[in-house]
Amino acid sequence: MSAPPVVHPPQRLVDAVALARAAAEEEAAADLGAAAAAAAVGAHLDAFAEEAGEPGAEFEGVVTHQFAAERGGYRGWRWSVTLAACADGPITVCEVVLQPGPDALVAPAWVPWEERVRPGDLGVGDLLPTAPDDDRLVPGYLASDDPAVEEVAMEVGLGRVRVLSRAGREDTAQRWSDGAHGPGADMARSAPGRCGTCGFFLPLAGSLRGSFGACGNRYSPADGAVVAVGYGCGAHSDVVAEAPSPVLVGELVYDDGVDLEPAGRP
- pLDDT for the residue 61: 85
- pLDDT for the residue 131: 77
- How much is the pTM? 0.49
Give the separation between CA 244 and CA 248, rounded to whole angstroms.
10
User: Could you tell me the sign of the dihedral formed by the alpha carbons of 19, 24, 29, 32, in that order?
Assistant: negative
pLDDT tens digits along 41-64? 999 999 998 876 555 556 678 999
In the predicted model, what is the mean pLDDT of residues 113-133? 77
DSSP codes, 52-79: EPPTTSSEEEEEEEEEEE--TT-TTEEE
Give the separation between CA 113 and CA 253, rounded to whole angstroms.
72
Confidence of residue 196 (pLDDT cuts 50, 70, 90): very high
| Mean pLDDT for all residues in the chain | 82
- pLDDT for the residue 53: 57
- pLDDT for the residue 7: 57
Q: Which of 199, 189, 266, 264 is nearest to 232 (CA)?
A: 189
Coarse DSSP helix, strand, coil percentages of the chain, rounded to the nearest 5 percent: 25, 25, 55
Task: List the 201-203 sheet strands across, edge first.
Answer: 201-203, 212-215, 226-228
What is the maximal distance between C-alpha atoms in the chain?
134
Confidence of residue 132 (pLDDT cuts 50, 70, 90): confident
Tell me how far apart the terminal alpha carbons of the chain are, to the nearest angstrom.
111
DSSP codes, 101-114: -TT---PPPP--GG
Q: How far is CA 65 from CA 43, 49, 211, 212, in A?
A: 11, 9, 63, 63
- pLDDT for the residue 253: 63
201-203 and 162-164: which strand pairing? unpaired
Nearest 10 degrees: Cα torsion 39, 41, 45, 46: -150
Better-scored residue on pLDDT, 251 or 2:
251
- pLDDT for the residue 99: 92
Amino acid at 51: E
Q: Which of 83, 71, 76, 67 is nearest to 31 (CA)?
A: 71
Q: Does position 261 have pLDDT exceeding 70, yes or no?
A: no
SS (H, E, C) 183-233: CCCHHHHCCCCCHHHCCCEEECCHHHCCCEEEECCCCCCCECCEEECCCCC
For residue 162, give the H/E element and its range.
strand 162-164
- pLDDT for the residue 255: 63
pLDDT tens digits along 96-117? 999 999 888 888 888 887 778 8
- pLDDT for the residue 139: 74
Give the separation between CA 235 and CA 191, rounded to whole angstroms.
9
Task: Calculate Rg over the CA atoms of the chain.
Answer: 38
Q: Does position 26 have pLDDT exceeding 90, yes or no?
A: yes
- pLDDT for the residue 142: 59
Percent residues over pLDDT 70 in the chain: 76
| Lowest mean pLDDT, pick from 25-29, 162-166, 183-187 | 162-166
